[in-house]
Structure 1
Amino acid sequence: MKKLEVYFLLMLITGMVGCGKKQENNKFNIDKNLDYCVTQASQTLKHIPEDSVMPRNITGKADGHWKFVPYNDWTSGFWPGTLWYLYEYTGEEKWKEEADRFSRYLTPLSVRSATDHDLGFQVFCSFGNGYRLTENSDYRKTILKTADTLATLYNPKVGTILSWPGMVDKMGWPHNTIIDNMMNLEMLFWASKNGGKDSLYDIAVKHAETTMKNHFRKDHSVYHVVVYDTITGKKVKGVTHQGYADNSLWARGQAWAIYGYTMTYRETGADKFLDFAQKVADVYLDRLPGDMIPFWDFDAPHIPDEPKDASAAAITASALLELSGYIKDPVKAAVYRESAEKMLGELSSPEYRSNDRNTAFLLHSTGHYPNGSEVDASIIYADYYYLEALVRLKKLREGKPVADPALVSNR
């Protein structure tokens, strides 16, 4: 019997379902952890140079100081997105002003040609959250322009968006799609429902369907990259780039899949995506170590002496909180939520919190292990999804939805 099946059984036996209020009293204090994020981000603000850059990572070699990157770095949207979540939590005008300032640094992305798939990470995490909270018409225009730009990378013969144009020549990957790209579909869905072209919705759905067909093994573990023939549209091979091996389970890749298909169900209302989100979530949960934080790759050869990846845990926790609200089976829904809360509890412990070691929120994330970059580091996207998960859990405890409902009535 698999670990997750045992967990389901134990929940039924112990009667965990229906005891939410009693359990909540024993959970960690969400506001305390959100206040911690406010304190850490306040310190980071003091150290950012006045030249339109964003914090990306703090490595062991950085002596506790952020490495800053320009607006066109793939991670540039996570810092303004973090500021928007802090504004949502505190309601304080200063966070709104800072979020607006850093978001606007990314405006050039909306008026230049697409260089890769990361436009969703960059623009929707920043301007998307900004529009959600303010309905600023300038933000809406920027998102719509960027969605059209991202769509230029779509290959209708393949049915997916080209992720890395630079890898076409460098790696000989004629049309390559990475699982991370599922996250960028959210901007296309949103744009199609907020004044953009209907074709953006169709592109997002087709990308999700094609990825669902070709990106996963029989056990629903994910390849990082799938290479396609640009002429026939057929799958050539599945490979890794940031995982341990082509046939290994890269932790953050599986996290992107869980989040991406949960979001796709929200935006389409199609049951096939909800079913698939559960399948990719279950293989991840079934292989987790006891502390609920994965090693950077589930098949890395020297476990338990391998680096952890707090970023994968943060992404998954946020996704599971949303997914739990869509599951009709109360036992399974409770498992997903309970798992997410355990992940957040561990991430909020002294083992993973940066505290006075640096001004990030979290320690122990792994970016690109094979390349030797951002290994056992503080990374901005780990902080972003950790904060998002905390905000989502606060909403759940207050009886609010974690995300806006899907607008599927005319689809």
Structure 2
Amino acid sequence: MYYNNRISRMLLCILVFSQLNSLRALAGENKGEEWFSKAVKTSAYQLNKATAVYTPGQNPRSINPNGSVRVAPYTDWTTGFFPGSLWYAYELTHDNNLKQQAGKFTLALDSVRYIKNTHDVGFMLFCSYGNAFRITKDKAYLPALKDGVANLAARFNPKVGAIRSWDFSWWHYPVIIDNMMNLEYLYWSAKEFKQPKYTDIANAHALTSMKNHFRKDYSSYHVVDYDAKTGKVLAQRTHQGVTDESAWARGQAWGLYGYAMCYANTKKPEFLEQAKHIAAFIMNHPRMPKDKVPVWDFDVHNAVDVEEKAPRDASAAAVIASGLLELSTQVKDGKKYLDYAEDILKSLSSDEYLAKPDENQYFILKHSVGALLYNSETDTPLNYADYYYLEALKRYAEIKKINLGN
């Protein structure tokens, strides 16, 4: 009897010790990354709860002023971010329920493959189906990706040298800085589907945007409108910022991320130099707050009527962090980019921005801005803030070699 009890106690100790080691590995305690553990655990908890509340194909986008959830149907430009977040959370935790739900929410977007009237199919499909295939290697995800990228490429005008972003009637041929993000879909598809023309389109778009979207200080306009027949620049606007000449925070983030990604895919030195210049503009900006989470526009101080409404934009911060982490792996002096991104992630993982479990309608981050001037999604969670936050956490874990467990 004594022998049996001793064996039982030993087995129990081994089990407890094993569980503690797993938790420590996830927490990165051997690297002093307790904030990282909290971020991952909170994110996984919120997303698991969200999958029990929301219906595939009707994905949570943000929270309305009355506290209700704004839902994104499959036609919404943000619809791919929620399933993409599930895929990233699965990678960070190895939680099989997250993987199962990610598959369900991804497959519910199959009809996106037929959408032809927007560049956003990159956000919609590559963040969902793209991550699904990358992680699972299941070829069932490929047909939608193949159809979607063909529709994206068809929006390229060789005379302009860029992909048309919007089909809104009041523009001639609008190209927005956000469009830089969707070039990754083209680069990936060029290899996967053996279509080198997709690389040519992506490179041309990046070069055209470099020429016409950026000012001398490497801040960017949001929209450049072209003459579709001649390629002439008709107007340079900032549709979602304070003024046409202001530096809308998320727009700067899109540019940084976009050119770091372009360099990673092409090794063209001009793309790397552009990414470094944009990073310098952001990192050295005199109005960047101490916690490195920018307000929605860096030049909000120039507009008296909105100065009292200057909420932070966690979505811009998350994109900046993810872009800087990518950039840090592409250059010799990458530590300065890694350190800055780490500071952002620690801020976003603090109680100021990271939701408490069961709060925030199961979104992960608080305090983002969609389009303040249009009274749309001001100081609210946004699904793309969560997506790029999780992507940044994953990149950070890979760079820092944090053991995520099995």
TM-score normalised to structure 2 length: 0.87
Task: Provide the rounded CA distance (Å) in 2 between the counterparts of 1:316 and 1:182.
Answer: 14
Change (3 A) 1:262 1:304: farther
Instruction: Decide which of 212, 215, 222 is 1:214's aligned counterpart.
Output: 212
Aligned equivalent of 1:104:
107
Q: CA deviation at 1:399?
A: 7.8
Task: Provide the rounded CA distance (Å) in 2 between the counterparts of 1:289 and 1:94.
Answer: 38
Answer yes or no: is 1:354 the counterpart of 2:355: yes
Task: Provide the rounded CA distance (Å) in 2 between the counterparts of 1:377 and 1:221.
Answer: 25
Task: Provide the rounded CA distance (Å) in 1 between the counterparts of 2:246 and 2:84.
Answer: 31
Q: 1:354–1:361: 8 Å Cα contact kept in structure 2?
A: yes
Aligned equivalent of 1:323:
327
Instruction: Decide which of 112, 123, 126 is 2:125's aligned counterpart.
Output: 123
Instruction: Decide which of 363, 368, 373 is 2:371's aligned counterpart.
Output: 368
Answer yes or no: is 1:47 the counterpart of 2:48: no
Task: Provide the rounded CA distance (Å) in 1 between the counterparts of 2:340 and 2:322.
Answer: 11
Q: 1:114–1:149: 8 Å Cα contact kept in structure 2?
A: yes
Output one character per residue of 1:106-127: Cα deviation in whole Å (capped at 9) or x when no partner.
11111x2411110000000001
Q: 2:115–2:148: 8 Å Cα contact kept in structure 1?
A: no
Aligned equivalent of 1:154:
156
Q: CA deviation at 1:28?
A: 4.4
Q: 1:259–1:316: 8 Å Cα contact kept in structure 2?
A: yes
With 125-134 and 91-100 compared, the bigger mean Cα shift is at 91-100
Q: Which amino acid aligns with 1:306?
A: A
Q: CA deviation at 1:141?
A: 2.3
Instruction: Decide which of 374, 391, 395 is 2:398's aligned counterpart.
Output: 395
Output one character per residue of 1:181-226: Cα deviation in whole Å (capped at 9) or x when no partner.
0001111110100124211110000000000000000110000000
Partner SS for 2:384: helix
Q: CA deviation at 1:229?
A: 0.8
Task: Provide the rounded CA distance (Å) in 2 between the counterparts of 1:37 and 1:196.
Answer: 36
Partner SS for 2:60: strand
Output one character per residue of 1:122-180: Cα deviation in whole Å (capped at 9) or x when no partner.
00000111111111112122212111011111111000000001x2x2x2x21110000
Q: CA deviation at 1:310?
A: 0.4
Task: Provide the rounded CA distance (Å) in 1 between the counterparts of 2:208 and 2:402.
Answer: 35
Task: Provide the rounded CA distance (Å) in 1 between the counterparts of 2:129 and 2:309.
Answer: 40
> Which consecutive residues of structure 1, in runs of 5 or more, have no partner in the other structure?
1-23, 401-411
Q: 1:59–1:375: 8 Å Cα contact kept in structure 2?
A: no
Q: 2:221–2:238: 8 Å Cα contact kept in structure 1?
A: yes
Partner SS for 1:317: helix
Q: Which amino acid aligns with 2:93?
A: T
Q: CA deviation at 1:41?
A: 0.8
Aligned residues: 367
After superposition, residues 127-276 of structure 1 pair within 5 angstroms as 127-165=129-167, 167=168, 169=169, 171=170, 173-276=171-274
Task: Provide the rounded CA distance (Å) in 1 between the counterparts of 2:96 and 2:48.
Answer: 14
Partner SS for 2:175: strand
Q: 2:40–2:93: 8 Å Cα contact kept in structure 1?
A: no
With 83-92 and 181-190 compared, the bigger mean Cα shift is at 83-92
Partner SS for 1:201: helix
Q: CA deviation at 1:87?
A: 1.6
Task: Provide the rounded CA distance (Å) in 2 between the counterparts of 1:83 and 1:26.
Answer: 26
Instruction: Decide which of 41, 47, 57 is 2:62's aligned counterpart.
Output: 57
TM-score normalised to structure 1 length: 0.86
Question: Higher Cα Rg: structure 1 or 2?
Answer: 2
> Which consecutive residues of structure 2, in runs of 5 or more, have no partner in the other structure?
1-29
Q: CA deviation at 1:46?
A: 2.0
Partner SS for 2:373: coil
Aligned equivalent of 2:98:
95
Q: 2:39–2:354: 8 Å Cα contact kept in structure 1?
A: no
Q: Give identity over the alignment, percent.
A: 43
Task: Provide the rounded CA distance (Å) in 1 between the counterparts of 2:182 and 2:189.
Answer: 12
Q: CA deviation at 1:286?
A: 1.4
RMSD: 1.8
Partner SS for 1:367: strand
